[in-house]
């Protein structure tokens, strides 16, 4: 899936910022792509970019309107349809992260056919993939893995992209979830792919590349999550990472949505290496990213220090401390850039 | 997916028995469900059941016509459509294992709507599943796992169903592939499910049951296959097996469709236990099923003897020796039937 930038962010009339978190995440990581926002009367979210009409957005060079907010249930509210139809008729593509498909609305489907502009439903994969081959590809790859779902795997991969680029490395974030697809303009919501094609889809997401190029692949789920471990394993095999970073949330008492306790970071490292060797015998852990938001400054500092010492790895909070120690470890292990930084 | 029995087997005009292996497999395991076969002129396959017309099948009580043969490519030949339409109009459901959907043919779709009879595409899942919960369910479960794809996992599970029933145990085969769905009249082609729902679909396939009931879950792929291991892991977590049997083909030099070598049986046992403990801490291996078809009698006997001694487990060839040693091990470990056998 390839989404043409720049974007107009459509926030609808959602009641709070949380309902617009997809749009807010795009502004966080790709402000240069976010030309403006379009809000309906009553909207309580604000992406912090200029309000504009569809005509103004078109005149400003916008290519795609992103439906970057969800109401409860993830379906498309009927009173949002007219805005989406108007965007298509004005010459924009429309991309959505809703559970329901844009084309399930007859008015939207007809407008897309009439205008010839594209509809992208990032939660639904229309791409046809081959099954995974498992053969080693050129280029370097890093995967973020987790002790659970929703522990910062996307954030960590994006922070590493920024940090590695600052260090002069050639690095690209590779999206495997819907928010990530908007942020990179390309990718696949891997949990929406038919099961037989999980690893094949990841081989498409992170293809062969130049020897010193890094793909930073967004992880999903956890090898220890009883609902989603199959997705995580297919993603690991398809990504064939040289390096991985374990993401963790230290205050969580059980895994999201189930009663199971979290695995230890050591267990995640061991099983990721055991399984990951199948498609990359050189796989190794290069760091740990811990979300310490719930801890005080001193608690966070001592947890990171203790974890790093115990594992012999850089341990960071991507928000609180940044990921530079992990970038330094990558440069130490695999070499830096030949380019002047 | 629930397919109403008994069946009329439609073989089309395929050029050999291999192209009709789905139908032949149903006759092997469920002869009592196979009332007749319908063959077009030129058909070179024979399921060994009476040839009959659709009208004769309907009069004989048939509920569903099974499209149990495939031509090259797995698509529906245009000249098969009229027979399928006639079956629907005569009052039969139609179930297909083809890659293309029956309803993609307008004539078939219209006939289904007109007649009110069901179309089942077992390679496509229309069922909506919940994500896996991972909670322990009542009842006993056995999963067949493999060193590779296509090493006898379905055959072994079906042979165990026969053997355990003969021993007086309450045991049901649970299908996770298209041929298995026809043989059990129920199940899901698990590799066709959306990735997020692999383990949830298996929880639906093998639900909570009486404490002494055994579900014998058909395995898919291998935890060591780089194309399909995600499916295998989701299946393992969803099945939460108490017991598993490793299936193996000893003459294979590399895994199907890829360049990777086969893992050892010991590696499969170790990783299955490591991962399977997540949803069933009591998981254990109860036997090995080896396809020795390519070996002489004496080679087969010594391989089974040597493997069994090395692993301390019953080692059988389900076709050559039968699975009774594994059934005996199950009875020894978990208890037999209270019913007189």
Q: Write the pLDDT tens digit of every residue in A210-247.
A: 999 999 999 999 999 999 999 999 999 999 999 999 99
Q: Residue B278 and residue A260: Cβ atoms within 8 Å?
A: yes
Q: Residue A234 and residue B237: Cβ atoms within 8 Å?
A: no
CA B48, CA B27: separation in Å to the nearest integer? 8
Instruction: Kindly report, residue by residue over B38-96, the tens digit of the pLDDT.
Output: 999 999 999 999 999 999 999 999 999 999 998 777 789 999 999 999 999 999 999 99
* Cβ contacts of B226 on chain A, cutoff 8 Å: 132-134, 199, 237, 278-279
The CATH superfamily of A7-121 is: NAD(P)-binding Rossmann-like Domain (3.40.50.720)
* Cβ contacts of A259 on chain B, cutoff 8 Å: 134-135
Instruction: Kindly report, residue by residue over A282-318, the tens digit of the pLDDT.
Output: 999 999 999 999 999 999 999 999 999 999 999 999 9
Q: Residue B227 and residue A279: Cβ atoms within 8 Å?
A: no
Q: Which two tokens stand for residue A340?
A: 């002047």
Per-domain boundaries in chain A: 7-121, 140-334
Instruction: Kindly report, residue by residue over B145-191, the tens digit of the pLDDT.
Output: 999 999 999 999 999 999 999 999 999 999 999 999 999 999 999 99
* Cβ contacts of B132 on chain A, cutoff 8 Å: 226-228
pLDDT at B339: 52
Instruction: Kindly report, residue by residue over A25-37, the tens digit of the pLDDT.
Output: 999 999 999 999 9
Residue B288 contacts residue B311 (beta carbons within 8 Å): yes
Burial tier of B316 (Cβ tally within 10 Å: 0-12, 13-18, 19+): buried
Q: What percent of chain A has pLDDT over 70?
A: 99
pLDDT at B233: 98
Pick the closest to residue A154 from A74, A275, A230, A235 (CA basis).
Answer: A235
Inform me whether the pLDDT recorded for A72 exceeds 90. Answer: no
* Cβ contacts of B241 on chain A, cutoff 8 Å: none
Pick the closest to residue B164 from B339, B331, B10 (CA basis).
Answer: B331
Instruction: Kindly report, residue by residue over B209-260, the tens digit of the pLDDT.
Output: 999 999 999 999 999 999 999 999 999 999 999 999 999 999 998 998 899 9
Q: Residue B227 and residue A195: Cβ atoms within 8 Å?
A: no
Do A7-121 and A140-334 show the same overall fold? yes
* Cβ contacts of A194 on chain B, cutoff 8 Å: 191-195
pLDDT at B340: 46
Inform me whether the pLDDT recorded for A340 exceeds 50. Answer: no
Q: CA torsion angle for B136, B334, B148, B309 (degrees, to 10)?
A: 150
The CATH superfamily of A140-334 is: P-loop containing nucleotide triphosphate hydrolases (3.40.50.300)
Instruction: Kindly report, residue by residue over B23-42, the tens digit of the pLDDT.
Output: 999 999 999 999 999 999 99
Q: Which residues contact A28 (CB under 8 A, 6 or more apart)?
A: none
Looking at the complex, report in whole angstroms how far the Cα of residue B27 sits from the nearest Cα belonging to chain A: 28
B312: left (phi over 0), alpha (psi -120 to 50) or beta: left
Average pLDDT of A321-325? 98
* Cβ contacts of A131 on chain B, cutoff 8 Å: 227-228, 257
Q: Which residue has the higher pLDDT, B120 or B337?
A: B120
**Closest residue to A199, CB basis, from B131, B226, B237:** B226
Q: What percent of chain A has pLDDT over 90?
A: 89
**Closest residue to B230, CB basis, from A199, A226, A271:** A199
Assign B338 a pLDDT band (cuts: 50, 70, 90): low
Pick the closest to residue B328 from B243, B265, B247, B205 (CA basis).
Answer: B243
Q: What percent of chain B has pLDDT over 90?
A: 89
Instruction: Kindly report, residue by residue over A98-125, the tens digit of the pLDDT.
Output: 888 999 999 999 999 999 999 999 988 7
**Closest residue to A226, CB basis, from B199, B231, B274:** B199
Return the H-helix or E-strand segment holding B331: helix B324-334
At CB < 8 Å, which residues of chain A contact B?
Answer: 131-135, 190-196, 198-200, 223-224, 226-235, 237, 257-260, 271, 274-275, 278-279
CA A265, CA B97: separation in Å to the nearest integer? 43
Residue B139 contacts residue B211 (beta carbons within 8 Å): yes
Beta carbons within 10 angstroms of residue A262's beta carbon: 22
Residue B130: closest C-alpha in chain A: A227
* Cβ contacts of A271 on chain B, cutoff 8 Å: 274-275
**Closest residue to A230, CB basis, from B135, B227, B233:** B233
Looking at the complex, report in whole angstroms how far the Cα of residue A196 sits from the nearest Cα belonging to chain B: 5
pLDDT at B314: 98
Assign A126 a pLDDT band (cuts: 50, 70, 90): low
pLDDT at A50: 98
Pick the closest to residue B96 from B220, B219, B12 (CA basis).
Answer: B12
Average pLDDT of B119-125? 88
* Cβ contacts of A232 on chain B, cutoff 8 Å: 230
Q: Residue A133 and residue B229: Cβ atoms within 8 Å?
A: no
pLDDT at B341: 43
**Closest residue to B237, CB basis, from A193, A229, A235:** A229
Residue A19 contacts residue A43 (beta carbons within 8 Å): no
Q: Which residue has the higher pLDDT, A72 or B264?
A: B264
Inform me whether the pLDDT recorded for B326 exceeds 70. Answer: yes
pLDDT at B334: 97
Q: Which residue has the higher pLDDT, A273 or A2?
A: A273
Average pLDDT of B192-205? 94
Inform me whether the pLDDT recorded for A195 exceeds 60. Answer: yes
Assign B126 a pLDDT band (cuts: 50, 70, 90): low
Looking at the complex, report in whole angstroms how far the Cα of residue A141 sits from the nearest Cα belonging to chain B: 17
């Amino acid at each position: 899936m390839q989404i043409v930038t720049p974007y107009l962010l459509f926030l609808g009339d959602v009641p709070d910022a949380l309902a617009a978190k997809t749009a807010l995440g795009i502004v966080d990581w790709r402000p240069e792509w976010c030309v403006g926002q379009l809000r309906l009367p009553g909207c309580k979210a604000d992406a912090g970019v200029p309000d504009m009409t569809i005509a103004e957005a078109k005149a400003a060079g916008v290519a795609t309107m992103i439906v970057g907010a969800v109401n409860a249930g993830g379906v498309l509210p009927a009173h949002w349809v007219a805005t989406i139809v108007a965007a298509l008729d004005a010459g924009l593509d429309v991309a959505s992260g809703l559970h329901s498909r844009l084309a399930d609305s007859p008015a939207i489907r007809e407008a897309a056919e009439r205008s010839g502009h594209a509809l992208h439903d990032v939660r639904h994969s229309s791409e046809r993939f081959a099954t995974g081959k498992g053969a080693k590809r050129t280029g370097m790859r890093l995967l973020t893995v987790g002790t659970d779902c929703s522990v910062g795997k996307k954030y960590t991969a994006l922070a590493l992209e920024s940090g590695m680029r600052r260090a002069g490395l050639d690095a690209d974030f590779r999206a495997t979830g819907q928010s990530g697809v908007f942020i990179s303009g390309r990718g696949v919501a891997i949990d929406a792919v038919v099961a037989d094609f999980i690893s094949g889809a990841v081989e498409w997401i992170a293809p062969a590349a130049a020897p010193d190029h890094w793909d930073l692949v967004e992880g999903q789920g956890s090898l220890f999550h009883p609902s989603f471990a199959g997705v995580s394993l297919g993603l690991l095999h398809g990504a064939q990472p040289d390096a991985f970073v374990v993401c963790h949330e230290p205050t969580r008492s059980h895994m999201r949505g189930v009663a199971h306790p979290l695995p230890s970071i050591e267990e995640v490292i061991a099983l990721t290496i055991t399984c990951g060797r199948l498609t990359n015998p050189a796989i190794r852990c290069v760091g740990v990213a811990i979300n310490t938001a719930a801890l005080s400054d001193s608690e966070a500092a001592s947890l990171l220090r203790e974890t790093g010492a115990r594992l012999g790895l850089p341990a960071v909070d991507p928000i609180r401390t940044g990921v530079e120690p992990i970038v330094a470890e990558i440069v130490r292990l695999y070499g830096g850039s030949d380019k002047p930084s």
